[in-house]
Amino acid sequence: MSLELKILGGCIIASSFYSCSRLNDKEKSTAINFPNKSSELAELMRDLVENTEEVKLQISKNEKPGFFIEFDKLHTAVPTDLAVRDDGHFTSFANNYIATVNELINTTGDKEEKYNKMIQSCIICHQQICPGPIKRIKKLRIK
Ligand code: HEC
């Protein structure tokens, strides 16, 4: 199997794990059918989603966005497929994401615009490395 296919496969499996953690019965049975332990990076991504949903809410209430994620872990957390870090882009995508988070935290201007830019940087990495969860990520945008 080619490297790309393996990564894609890992991500599809990863995104089905993801949907497992989200409630409905069909998805719960998926969790039972795929009892594999999820990777450290996948768990970090789930926290990231949770944190991002919180931040979205904070922005809608005009509160200061609060991040609890340890962003450095993006660089060290072990992925399902170790090869995801090997294409030479992962580090710059991760740094780009972290930069957009800081822009959002520090802006005195339009928080919604910075927030959507941050979501776009999740998508940029996912487009290249792990397309499975993109649909889910797009839902995080502020309309
Ligand atoms: C630097 C690249 C990169 C960035 C930036 C990134 N991701 Fe990911 N994401 C990944 C990789 C790689 C995986 C697959 C992890 C694994 O299976 O080990 C993943 C997995 C996921 C998953 C599936 C998790 C699971 O349960 O398997 C979701 C959902 C997700 N990311 C959402 C996001 C969101 C939301 C953001 C931005 C807030 C984001 N990602 C930013 C690379 C990235």
Per-residue pLDDT reduced to its tens digit, 97-140: 999 999 999 999 999 999 999 999 999 999 999 999 999 999 99
Atom of ligand 1 nearest to the CA of 89: 1
Q: Residue 128 in contact with residue 11, Cβ under 8 Å? A: no
Residue ranges covered by each domain of the chain: 3-138
Our mutation pick for probing the ligand 1 site, out of 36, 45, 47, 54, counting the most ligand atoms within 8 A of Cβ, is 45
Q: Residue 125 CA to chain centroid, in angstroms?
A: 9
Task: Please work out whether the CB of residue 52 comes within 6 Å of at least one atom of ligand 1.
Answer: yes
Give the max Cα distance, the chain.
49
The pLDDT assigned to 118 comes to 98
Q: Which string of b and e fits 9-34 if b means at least 16 CB within 10 Å?
A: ebbebbbebbbbeeeeeeeeeeeeee
CA distances (Å), origin 122, targets 23, 63, 94: 23, 22, 8
- Residue 42, both tokens: 């996948």
Residue 50 pLDDT exceeds 70 = yes
Task: Please work out whether the CB of residue 115 comes within 6 Å of at least one atom of ligand 1.
Answer: no
Q: How far is the CA of 118 from the centre of ligand 1 (A)?
A: 13
Cα end-to-end distance, the chain, whole Å: 40
Residue 48 pLDDT exceeds 60 = yes
Q: How far is the CA of 111 from the centre of ligand 1 (A)?
A: 23
